[in-house]
Amino acid sequence: MKIAFVGKGGSGKTTLSSLFVRHLAAVGAPVVAIDADINQHLATALGLDEAEAAALPAMGGQLPLIKNYLRGTNPRVPSAESMIKTTPPGEGSRLLRVREDNPVYDACARPVELDGGAVRLMVTGPFTDADLGVACYHSKTGAVELCLNHLVDGRDEYVVVDMTAGSDSFASGLFTRFDMTFLVAEPTRRGVSVYRQYKEYARDYGVLLKVVGNKVHGQDDLDFLRAEVGDDLLVTVGHSDWVRAMEKGRPPRFHLLEEPNRHALQVLRTAVDATYELRDWERYTRQMVHFHLKNAHSWGNERTGTDLAAQIDPGFVLSEAVAATA
Ligand SMILES: Nc1ncnc2c1ncn2[C@@H]1O[C@H](COP(=O)(O)OP(=O)(O)OP(=O)(O)O)[C@@H](O)[C@H]1O
Ligand SMILES: [Mg+2]
């Protein structure tokens, strides 16, 4: 199951991503956690110290390796150089699974021990000014999009992505790659305006969007969010002393997280799990083709000097069945 946490800067995306990852790890579920946010804080939220976090390999720096592995023997993608972030898989491509060892995880993922079990952590690497706001080929989140487009995930295994709600995610198809998108919103006008903008983009692509209220304190906050986002409000999280202690470098055991917040995490998981029945791999594949053509026209063809539409394998549909035979 692929889950994104998005929202305004400072709303609590990283905090809630990390709590959700801990929640999944605590029940022994396999998890890949990905930090694709502008401010890279997921590693420290998962308990790594600054030095450990700084030593994590950046996915953005491993693009040639990722591309070479994923293209496999796909004849439509004869070289890594011709592969852009939206190049879809086809016959011969290599697919990724949540539970396996592969060269992409070897290069980009590191195990993080949490209460209950280890998760894999991957980070895009810090963004520079040149990365922001442009739909160009070196966008850091391109590595994440490529991996998600080649990933076949099943029930009870999770990829959790901490990302921005910024325009970078709409320039590509990344925002359409998730079974569930949690928009983290504080009960403020700005928090809610990011929700409206995201909803607008999401509507045409059938993106499942739910609002998670954060730093919600009292009835007035709750009433505000309800009035502004209606039924899209899934659950709210209040101020957490557990999170504060964590931030002070004194992480308590996870089972000591406040009961209402543990309940909120369970609500998130239930909502995610319920989307499994709604999956539509054909639509998922069709959308990646759509965004590939869009990127090919706007910059990719020119950049690579080839007609990138030729990379599309018309008979290919990504699915769990395809992964079983690949
Ligand atoms: N429920 C909470 N209880 C206590 N502190 C919280 C809570 N949610 C977030 N915080 C604190 O608020 C700050 C911002 O949260 P966080 O870093 O998760 O936001 P973000 O959306 O990831 O921000 P950025 O846009 O900078 O990446 C952090 O110091 C975090 O510890
Ligand atoms: Mg963050």
73-129 pLDDT, tens digit each? 999 999 999 999 999 999 999 999 999 999 999 999 999 999 988 999 999 987 665
| Nearest CA owner, ligand 1 atom 23 | 10
**Beta carbon of 19 within 6 Å of any ligand 1 atom:** no
CB 243 near ligand 1, within 6 Å: yes
Of 14, 35, 42, 162, the residue with max ligand 1 atoms within 8 A of its CB, to mutate for a pocket test, comes to 14
Cα 17 to ligand 2 centroid, rounded to whole Å = 9
Tens digits of residue pLDDT in 141-195: 899 999 999 999 999 999 999 998 766 667 789 999 999 999 999 999 998 999 9
Q: Atom 10 (ligand 1): residue with closest C-alpha?
A: 12
Taking a 5 Å cut-off on Cβ, the residues next to ion ligand 2 are 13-14, 37, 39, 41
* Burial class of residue 170, CB neighbours in 10 A (0-12, 13-18, 19+): middle
Instruction: Name the residue with the closest Cα to ligand 1, atom 29.
Output: 247
Nearest CA to ligand 1 atom 12: 12
Residue 135 has pLDDT above 50, yes or no: no
Task: Please indicate whether residue 41, judged by its CB atom, sits closer than 6 Å to ligand 1.
Answer: yes
pLDDT band (50, 70, 90) for residue 140: confident
31-35, 262-266, 322-326: which range is least confident on average? 322-326
Residue 244 Cβ < 6 Å to ligand 1: yes
Average per-residue pLDDT for the chain: 93
User: Which ligand places an atom closest to the C-alpha of 217?
Assistant: 1
pLDDT band at 250 (very low <50, low <70, confident <90, very high): confident
Alpha-carbon gap, residue 87 to 105, rounded angstroms: 20
How does DSSP assign 193-223, residue by residue?
Answer: HHHHHHHHHHHTTT--EEEEEES--HHHHHH
Please tell me the distance between residue 114's alpha carbon and the centre of ligand 1 in angstroms: 20
Q: What percent of the chain has pLDDT over 70?
A: 94
- pLDDT tens digit sequence for 12-56: 999 999 999 999 999 999 999 999 988 899 999 999 999 999 999
Domains and CATH numbers, the chain: 2-325 (3.40.50.300)
- pTM (2 d.p.): 0.96
184 strand-pairing partners = 7, 212
Pocket-testing residue among 15, 18, 195, ligand 1, by greatest number of atoms within 8 A of Cβ = 15
User: What is the number of other CB atoms lying within 10 angstroms of the CB of residue 166?
Assistant: 18
Contact 129, 118 (CB under 8 A): no
For residue 11, the ligand closest to its alpha carbon is 1
Whether residue 186 contacts residue 12, with contact meaning beta carbons closer than 8 Å, is answered with yes
Instruction: Tell whether ligand 1 has an atom less than 6 A from the beta carbon of residue 13.
Output: yes
pLDDT, residue 305, reads 92
Q: In what order do the strands lie in the sheet with 31-36?
A: 109-114, 117-123, 31-36, 158-163, 2-7, 180-185, 209-214, 233-237
Phi, psi dihedral angles at 83 (to 5 degrees): -90, 125
Cα of first residue to Cα of last residue in the chain, in angstroms, is 20
Ligand nearest, relative to CA of residue 213: 1
Residue with tokens 């693009």: 63
Q: What's the rounded Cα separation, in Å, for the pair 290 and 306?
A: 18
Q: Report d(CA 151, CA 281) in Å as an integer.
A: 11
From the CA atom positions of the chain, what is the Rg in Å? Answer: 19
Within 10 angstroms of residue 129's Cβ, the number of other Cβ atoms is 7
Does the CB atom of residue 237 touch ligand 1 within 6 A?
yes
